[in-house]
Structure 1
Amino acid sequence: MSDHVMRPVRADEWQKVKEQRIEALKDPAAPVAFLETLAQAESRTDEFWQDRASRASQGRHARQFVAEGADGQWVGSVTVLVEEGGTTDFFERAVEQTQGHLVGVFVRAGERGTGVTEALFTAALDWAWSLEGPALERVRLFVHEGNGRAGAFYRRFGFRATGQVVPVPGDPDATELEYVLARP
């Protein structure tokens, strides 16, 4: 693990952001881990990826963190979205309090279980907890009911199931479970 640096993406790294996302969507767990398909990601324009990297590298509303090896290769990623109280979320539900929302969690298969995921989550949460005006009181994420491996990791990391369940967009027979970690 010591040979990886956890850091936010830079706006000029849009090609690596795109490559990492496409790699994640090729993972066998992708159908229960991501709401986007490989075909959707591959069809997006360079401008889309440039905008995504730019938005995830600055400001308060989103930050993408990567695990970068000594060779410059990215082996994992997680993004924190800030959901402001009084708005609606991705599932079109009211957001009652300003909170973080972890999305796009991906670590290469060969790096899983090595501490990379924990280090990525720590970097993302350190950033989330550092925000002021207003401060985030909690960070949440959603996990597909069929993604037991991810759910087990989130629980080990300290996230707790809230009992809130939402349908998976585009798959009315499947659900996502909400997990929350309160501000320390």
Structure 2
Amino acid sequence: MDYEIRAVRPDEWTAVKELRLAALRDPAAPLAFLETYEQALARPDVFWQDRAAGASHGVAARQFVAVGSDGVWAGGVVVLVEEEGELDVFGQVNEQRQAQLVGVFVRPEARGLGVTEALFSAAVEWAQGVDGVTRVRLHVHEDNARAAGFYRKFGFVRTGGAVPNPGDPSKVDHEMVLKQP
């Protein structure tokens, strides 16, 4: 199946919600996401409406999705632009303007078909085009070997930085940054 890789549209909040709920039901969700299925399910519609609208345009955030020819969303990734001096999603102060990839998810039936690569390519291209962004990074749970392997294959390398995992402070999330060409 062919997939269209594109940014979400403001009126697609129900699809944004459905994809997020599917991601949070994935067996790897406890390692990959900072919220639970129950937390996301309890959010009001206005949250999802605002999320879709905010990730559809502007330069603060963008969500890219892979839409199958059948109209089903096969996966997505969110890019957050983090401003210098602001706190990131882990409560750390950003030392520079950078982009962070979060919310990475591809449905099991679409894995291994190049969907994740296509999503990352679109996300990285967009992030690198945002004025002042100096690097693209992400965090990966120490036990999420599958994700870490993909990130390395795509060109991300560990920086040596790590933060305690918010869900289990006895574990860490390693920072990885996209190598510069």
**Partner Cα distance (2:119, 2:126) in 1:** 11
Q: Which runs of 5+ in 2 are unaligned?
A: none
1:103-122 superposed matches below 5 A: 103-122=102-121
Match of 2:178, SS?
strand
Task: Give identity over the alignment, percent.
Answer: 60
TM-score by length of 2: 0.97
How much is the aligned-residue C-alpha RMSD, in angstroms?
1.0
- The superposition leaves residues 100-159 of structure 1 with CA deviations (integer Å, 9 ceiling, x where unpaired) of 000000001111111000000000011111112x2x121000000110000000000000
Match of 1:123, SS?
helix
Contact 2:76 2:103 in 1 (8 A): yes
Alignment of 1:64 with 2:63, yes or no, is yes
Moved over 2 A (4+): none
Deviation at 1:170, TM superposition (A): 3.2
Contact 1:99 1:138 in 2 (8 A): yes
- The superposition leaves residues 47-76 of structure 1 with CA deviations (integer Å, 9 ceiling, x where unpaired) of 000011011111100000000011111001
**Partner Cα distance (2:89, 2:70) in 1:** 36
Match of 1:118, SS?
helix
TM-score by length of 1: 0.96
**Partner Cα distance (1:93, 1:178) in 2:** 12
Alignment of 1:83 with 2:82, yes or no, is yes
Match of 1:10, SS?
coil
Deviation at 1:182, TM superposition (A): 4.1
1:99-138 superposed matches below 5 A: 99-132=98-131, 134=132, 136-138=133-135
Greater mean deviation of Cα atoms: 38-47 or 86-95: 86-95
Residue in 1 aligned with 2:54? 55
1:1-184 superposed matches below 5 A: 3-132=2-131, 134=132, 136-184=133-181
Aligned residues: 181
Contact 1:137 1:182 in 2 (8 A): no
**Partner Cα distance (2:88, 2:75) in 1:** 25
